[in-house]
Each structure stands twice: as C-alpha cells, then as structure tokens.
Amino acid sequence: AQSVTQLDSHVSVSEGTPVLLRCNYSSSYSPSLFWYVQHPNKGLQLLLKYTSAATLVKGINGFEAEFKKSETSFHLTKPSAHMSDAAEYFCVVSGGGAARQLTFGSGTQLTVLP
Amino acid sequence: DGGITQSPKYLFRKEGQNVTLSCEQNLNHDAMYWYRQDPGQGLRLIYYSQIVNDFQKGDIAEGYSVSREKKESFPLTVTSAQKNPTAFYLCASQPGQGGQPQHFGDGTRLSIL
C-alpha cells in the first residue's frame, strides 16, 4: 500500500521569495516519486522525478526536490518565485507492482503575490 | 511532436445520455489511464490498460466503460449510470518500464445540461 500527504492545501508567497511545498509519503516498495504542476484547465506537466538515483533532484523551471528516506519526505523547493509559478502542484508516488499505478496527493495551490 | 490528444475540450451531457471522451497518444506507450479530477480531491483512477485488448478497473469505475482496440487509443464512455459525471477528465500514458512518469493530455471538462 502507498499514500501521499501534501501538508498544505494552499501556499502563498511573494514574487522573488523562496517556495516550499511539503510532501510526505508511505510505500511498501522502494518508491519512485514525482512532482507535477497543473495550470487551470490544463493537464499535468512533470516537474521532476526521483527514481532511486541522486537524492537531490533538479527539475524544470528552477524547481528541485530532496528525497529524505528517514523522514519519508519529498519536499519541493524553488529559490525565487515567479508569477508564472502560480498553479496547483501534485506530489505523486509510484510504488511498483505490475500495475505501475500512481497515487496522487490532494494538491497544493500556490499563489504568487506581486 | 509526440504527445497525448484529448477531445473534445468541453462536453455537455443530457440526462440519460452516454458520451464518449477520446484519448489518442503517439508516444508508443504501452499503458494508458483515465482519471477523474474534482476540486480539492486530486486525481482518482477510473480505468487503466497495460496492453491492447486488456483493461482493469480503477478506484471509481462504476458508471464508466473503456476499450483498448489499438495501442494508441483509449476512449472512455461515461454512461447514464454515472449519476454525477460533472468533472475534469484526464487521460495519461506511460512507457512499459517500471517507475517511469505518466504523460498527460490537456483534459476534457464534462458538464450536465
């Protein structure tokens, strides 16, 4: 069994300040973890993925995430927020098995203030 | 460019009517998925298919049906048995190797007339 908890449903930051979106997971397997971003009325776009290589993962648009097994966390960060970062972000775990199914967090809505 | 195409972007259903949402991919991916997205609830899996002519129910399959006659196509039918079909529907595909991310289409928004 696997699950994902996104600790904040809404995060608001000022433009140019750091972004932190928090995610905790549980998995019976050695997990693959992903962050996706969704803009209004659009599909999900992959930001970055962790698949048991380096624990610090760099993604697109300046985002990165660190896999911490001891804390079962995979928090998403960005040093400086841009207005275009305003969107909904999903933390996702893939726990393996034949179905290769994903388990999605409930999402974090990021607001960027001018 | 390779990707996933969902159509139509907006769809309206009358009471008692079945409607079909299209999903086509040219990524040569083996697996395809249908999700339903409601506000504040993330994504919930409706059906998935790992290979042509085979598909499995997800968490909320009641009131929906699918087919997988071709590798590139995975249409979803929302039947009249689905009493609350208003939602945003997302199709995704995934390569055959384990641990790989899914690729998503831009979704279809279904509403009731």
Tokens at residue B55, please? 């598909």
pLDDT confidence of residue B101: 86
| pLDDT bracket for residue A100 (50, 70, 90) | low
Tokens at residue A86, please? 């305003």
pLDDT confidence of residue A94: 84
Average pLDDT on B43-61 reads 93
pLDDT confidence of residue A95: 67
Q: Specify the residue for token string 């098995």.
A: A97
Residue B110 CB contacts under 8 Å (≥ 6 apart), including other chains:
B11, B12, B13, B19, B21, B78, B85, B86, B87, B88, B89
Measured between CB atoms, which of B40, B48, B98 is closest to A106? B40
| pLDDT bracket for residue B1 (50, 70, 90) | low
Contact B103 A51 (CB under 8 A): no
Lowest mean pLDDT among A1-5, B9-13, B51-55, B104-108: A1-5
Q: A14: distance to nearest CA of chain B, Å?
A: 23
Percent of chain B predicted with pLDDT > 70: 96
Give the Cα separation of B44 and A1 in Å (integer): 16
| Cα angle A34-B2-B11, degrees, rounded to a multiple of 5 | 85
Contact A100 B41 (CB under 8 A): no
| Averaged confidence pLDDT in chain B | 92
pLDDT confidence of residue A27: 82
Average pLDDT on A98-113 reads 85
pLDDT confidence of residue B112: 86
Q: What's the pLDDT tens digit per position in B80-107?
A: 888 899 999 999 999 876 678 899 999 9
Measured between CB atoms, which of B43, B94, B107 is closest to A100? B94
| Averaged confidence pLDDT in chain A | 91
Query: In chain B, what residues touch A49 (CB-CB under 8 Å)?
Result: 101
Q: B41: distance to nearest CA of chain A, Å?
A: 5
pLDDT confidence of residue A99: 52
What letters, b where the CB count within 10 A reaches 16 and e where it falls short, cover B28-40?
ebbbbbbbbbeee
pLDDT confidence of residue A30: 77
| pLDDT bracket for residue B55 (50, 70, 90) | very high
> Which residue pairs from A46-49 have beta carbons closer than 8 angstroms and sit at least 24 positions apart in sequence?
A46/B101, A46/B103, A47/A76, A47/A89, A48/A76, A49/B101
Q: What's the pLDDT tens digit per position in A33-84?
A: 999 999 988 999 999 999 877 889 999 999 999 999 899 999 999 999 999 9
